[in-house]
């Protein structure tokens, strides 16, 4: 399936749901402790520099949208989904350091940078756009739609992570100092459409409001944006917290619970927002055949005024918005597989405006020799019944120095050529990981 560059860009803007899990989360020690907050299955000492992990996730496949008539495809998709959406995240470990404490616990410090893009189109909004309201012509319908929701944010993060051991139990916590750098948001506070057509009454009414917000960047001059160290702290710097518990059931099995991104959002204040709102109500002419003249019916029609439908623009120069950092609840089990690796099973839940997203993952991590460590596994996104395979490897470049490379869905990655991009029909997203790390892996055990 070939699409041109401009169509790809249009798709990213128009329809850009939970970022993909990947084998990188079990292969990299710093990612492992970030994913499984209370784990001690970690090296004695570890340093990561410049690790990059971009990912993209759709709640539909490319073929379901682009094969055939897109309008008909959207009508078919919204019958089985509450929304169409895309979520993209880019995590950059600028510097992360991890070491073992005297009592067996772990401490980690790090500086990260990242970005999130989340865009969703509500099912009712898409259905009205493709089919209209009351597609059968008669009846009564009231639609309250979430409309369009879009977030794009860049942020920096400083963190401190501690894991403490108490007998056969571990307790872990991470304190994260998150500073929004720049971003934009589009929201739909109100989108209500009412329609009555029962033969004797013919009415339609619409109320809508859309809001836009930008901060840290001028939307009319994106080239003016210049990163600086001062962006690590600002008046909108906020705290996020991760908590975790882990219990050893036997020497070869541990189970754990991690709750992350508490309280689930960051507030940005003192920015400018613009609201576009309007409303309209129309009642069709009421007349009786044989009694009312054609001129009286026509006079009712010409009295209809559409001016109220035109948007009323309101600007608030001291507004606030919320950046959604979705809370994560993760249940997991780590099964010890000798001295060379583990089997990791997890179920991850993320609440959203449309319910809870559930992913089930299974990974195997093996370090059978000093030259090469590998992790591979499978993710199942339960809500959409979609699967993705993921693999990551860590190659020894020099003593205690390793290059990490990983990806998911390697056979479904987009391919480029001749001014266009080729998307496999089953494409639902991807993740790619790369970075340099330094670590000592002796005595790395459960």
Label residue 184 by pLDDT band (50, 70, 90).
very high
Position 357 in a domain:
no
Summarize pLDDT for 299-345 with one digit per residue, the tens: 555 555 666 668 889 999 999 988 888 889 999 999 988 777 889 99
**In the block, which residue shows the tokens 């950092």?**
325
224-235 tens-digit pLDDT: 666 666 667 788
Residue 372 pLDDT level (bands cut at 50, 70, 90) = confident
- Phi then psi for 24, rounded to 5 degrees? -60, -30
Q: How confident is the model at residue 21 (pLDDT cuts 50, 70, 90)?
A: low
At 150 the pLDDT is 92
Listed in sequence order, the DSSP H helices in 2-139 are: 5-14, 24-27, 29-35, 62-66, 70-77, 123-131
Q: How far apart are CA 31 and CA 255, in angstroms?
A: 18
DSSP per-residue letters across 290-323: TTS-HHHHHHHHHT---GGGSPEEEEEEEEEEEE
The residue-averaged pLDDT of 399-419 equals 80
Q: Quick check: is 183 in a domain?
A: yes
pLDDT digits (tens, 9 = 90+) for 32-76: 899 999 998 888 888 888 888 888 888 888 888 888 888 888 888
CA atoms within 13 A on the CB side of 148: 14
Q: Is residue 287 part of a domain?
A: yes
As a whole number of angstroms, the distance between CA 122 and CA 186 comes to: 13
In a domain, 352, yes or no: no
What SS3 class is residue 60? coil
Q: In this structure, is residue 52 part of a structural domain?
A: yes
More confident residue, 253 or 437: 253
Give the alpha-carbon dihedral of 10, 11, 17, 22, to 10 degrees.
Answer: -100
pLDDT for the residue numbered 74: 86
Residue 139 neighbours by CB distance under 10 Å:
12
Helix axes 70-77, 123-131, angle to 10 degrees: 140
- Does 325 fall in a domain? yes
Closest CA to 83 of 3, 188, 164: 188
Q: At residue 128, does pLDDT exceed 90? A: no
* Domain membership flag for residue 124: yes
Choice between 216 and 219, residue whose per-residue pLDDT is larger: 216
Domain ranges, residue 246: 2-342+412-440
**Residue 353 in domain:** no
- Alpha carbon distance 334, 248 (integer Å): 10
Judged by phi (left if over 0) then psi (alpha if -120 to 50, else beta), residue 226 lies in: beta
pLDDT tens track for 217-260: 877 776 766 666 666 778 889 999 999 999 999 989 999 999 99
pLDDT band at 407 (very low <50, low <70, confident <90, very high): confident
Place of tokens 């007998």: 167
Q: Could you give the CA distance from residue 433 to residue 405 in angstroms, rounded to a whole number?
A: 5
Distances 169 to 244, 255, 272, 329, 341 between C-alpha atoms, Å: 11, 10, 48, 19, 21
Q: How confident is the model at residue 298, as a pLDDT?
A: 53
Does 216 have pLDDT greater than 80? yes
Domain count, the chain: 1
DSSP E strands in 198-310: the ranges are 202-215, 238-250, 253-262, 265-283
| pLDDT at residue 105 greater than cutoff 90 | no
Query: Does residue 263 have a cis peptide bond before it, meaning omega lies within 30 degrees of 0?
Result: yes
182 or 224, higher pLDDT: 182
């Amino acid at each position: 399936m070939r699409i041109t560059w401009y169509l790809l860009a249009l798709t990213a803007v128009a329809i850009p749901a939970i970022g993909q899990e990947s084998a990188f989360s079990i292969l990299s020690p710093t990612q492992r402790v970030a994913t499984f907050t209370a784990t001690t299955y970690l090296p004695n000492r570890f340093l990561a520099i410049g690790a990059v992990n971009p990912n993209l996730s759709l709640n539909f496949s490319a073929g379901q949208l682009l094969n055939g008539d897109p309008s008909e495809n959207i009508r078919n998709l919204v019958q089985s989904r509450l929304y169409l959406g895309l979520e993209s995240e880019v995590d950059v470990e600028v510097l992360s350091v991890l070491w073992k404490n005297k009592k067996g616990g772990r401490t980690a410090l790090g500086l990260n940078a990242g970005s999130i893009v989340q865009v969703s189109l509500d099912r009712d909004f898409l259905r009205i756009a493709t089919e209209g309201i009351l597609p059968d012509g008669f009846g009564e319908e009231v639609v309250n739609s979430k409309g369009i929701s879009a977030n794009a944010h860049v942020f920096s993060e400083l963190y401190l992570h501690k894991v403490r051991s108490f007998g056969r139990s571990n307790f872990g916590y991470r304190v994260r100092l998150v500073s929004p750098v720049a971003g934009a948001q589009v929201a739909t506070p109100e989108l209500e459409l009412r329609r009555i057509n029962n033969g004797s009454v013919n009415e339609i009414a619409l109320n809508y409001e859309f809001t836009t917000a930008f901060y840290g960047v001028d939307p009319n001059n994106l080239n003016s944006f210049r990163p600086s160290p001062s962006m690590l702290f600002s008046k909108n710097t906020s705290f996020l917290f991760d908590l975790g518990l882990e219990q050893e059931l036997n020497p070869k099995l541990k189970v754990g619970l991690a709750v992350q991104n508490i309280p689930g959002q960051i507030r940005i204040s003192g920015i400018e927002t613009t609201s576009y709102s309007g409303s309209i109500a129309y009642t069709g002419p009421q007349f009786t055949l044989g009694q009312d003249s054609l001129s009286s019916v026509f006079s009712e029609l010409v009295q209809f005024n559409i001016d109220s439908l035109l948007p009323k623009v309101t600007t608030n120069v001291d507004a606030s918005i919320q950046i959604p950092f979705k809370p994560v609840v993760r249940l997991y089990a780590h099964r010890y597989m000798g001295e060379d690796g583990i089997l990791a099973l997890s179920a991850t839940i993320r609440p959203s405006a449309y319910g809870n997203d559930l992913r089930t993952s299974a990974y195997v991590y093996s370090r059978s020799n000093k030259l090469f460590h590998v992790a591979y596994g499978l993710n199942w996104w339960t809500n959409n019944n979609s699967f993705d395979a993921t693999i990551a490897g860590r190659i020894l470049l020099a003593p205690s120095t390793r290059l990490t490379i990983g990806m998911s869905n390697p056979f479904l990655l987009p391919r480029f050529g001749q001014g266009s991009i080729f998307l496999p029909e089953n494409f639902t997203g991807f993740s790619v990981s790369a970075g340099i790390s330094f670590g000592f892996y002796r005595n790395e055990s459960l």
